[in-house]
Structure 1
């Protein structure tokens, strides 16, 4: 993973009667991808949940202690489980190759809060001079991972959300 990669989550909530969308993110992301013969053969991404932050410190503390116990489960991981064809993306080998992009579904497994579930990352892959940029989301339902969305007097969090990522893959 190159510098500038990040991952996080987005979820809708009602805070003190006001609808809002919350984003938490971190650059504590590691991983790798193997591309051979225009096919993504394998990919893995690990995110340190202790470093995920939003604009509200109390929310972050609640997330890391009550929503996901980051002492027990500090890392969330996504692993591709099937090859992904990138031929459409890699067809051009000219100097303009960085203008190529393709939308792909990446079947995989998401490991969050000690639970492993099938998941599909929906991503846009762009060739850059340094390698590839992969931007996407993994839609998810919190309870699938043993997570009860907060429903307190001052805040109610939606039952589903998405994990978001920008991965800068270097050659």
Structure 2
């Protein structure tokens, strides 16, 4: 994992660039809405939104935390992304972006998660709309400069036998800005059988905290708050 770059906020020039890019993307959305109508566009967008991450039916609460001690790596089937709400001429729209390009590791010792580093390739996050994705990558997130998002655990998180809920406290780095974050997560798996462990979770964010401005052009607005979501399939490290 590369070192995180830290800054207090965007420059005026960067802020203008983000605002202009958002405007272009929102106008494109407005054209689509004009063709389909706000209601039909909202229905179409909401149907395309991914469901919130959930534990797989095959996963169960950990029956023995000692069975999961060691270092685990993020494996195939993992994903991460964002969820944000838009309002288009009174119609509510939920948009989700996803990528399976997630890497990292999680360490468990003495009944607790003692270390975790997860990195997401922001350049590959995609929604159902190519023009929205182009704005997200090039303007809002400036992926040429800040291609990844990283979460790093800073405090041990106790695992309780028979329970799934766990709070992960750490630092989230997004768009070159590092801020403390608490992830409400769930952990489950086939620990006794040595099978995979799944970790799902989400963390609410305010985009301006990370130097990203949400657009509001009257006919369409994007909420300034959103959610980062993830589902990790953890495999034992060889």
Partner of 1:65: 138
Q: Which has the larger radius of gyration?
A: 2
Q: CA deviation at 1:18?
A: 2.3
For normalisation by structure 1, the TM-score amounts to 0.88
CA-CA distance at 1:16 after TM superposition: 5.1
TM-score (norm 2): 0.64
Mapping of residues 71-86 of structure 1, within 5 Å: 71-86=144-159
Q: Displaced runs of 4+ in structure 1, greater than 6 A?
A: none
Higher helix share: 2
Map 1:113-152 onto structure 2 (within 5 A).
113-128=175-190, 130-152=195-217
Q: Cα offset for 1:19?
A: 1.1
Aligned 1:11-160 pairs, distance under 5 A: 11-15=84-88, 17-86=90-159, 88-89=160-161, 100-128=162-190, 130-152=195-217, 155-160=220-225
Cα contact 1:101–1:127 (8 A) shared by 2: no
- CA drift at 1:127: 1.8
How many aligned residue pairs are there? 160
* CA shift in 2, pair 1:63/1:51, >3 Å: same
Shift, 1:131, TM fit: 2.7
Secondary structure, aligned partner of 2:131:
helix
Encode CA deviations 1:76-102: one digit per residue, 9 max, x unaligned.
00111100111x23xxxxxxxxxx541
2: CA distance, partners of 1:153 / 1:46: 36
CA deviation after TM superposition for structure 1 residue 17, in Å = 4.3
Residue 92 of structure 1 corresponds to: none
Work out which of the residue numbers 228, 233, 236 in structure 2 matches 1:163: 228
Unaligned segments of structure 2, at least 5 residues: 1-73
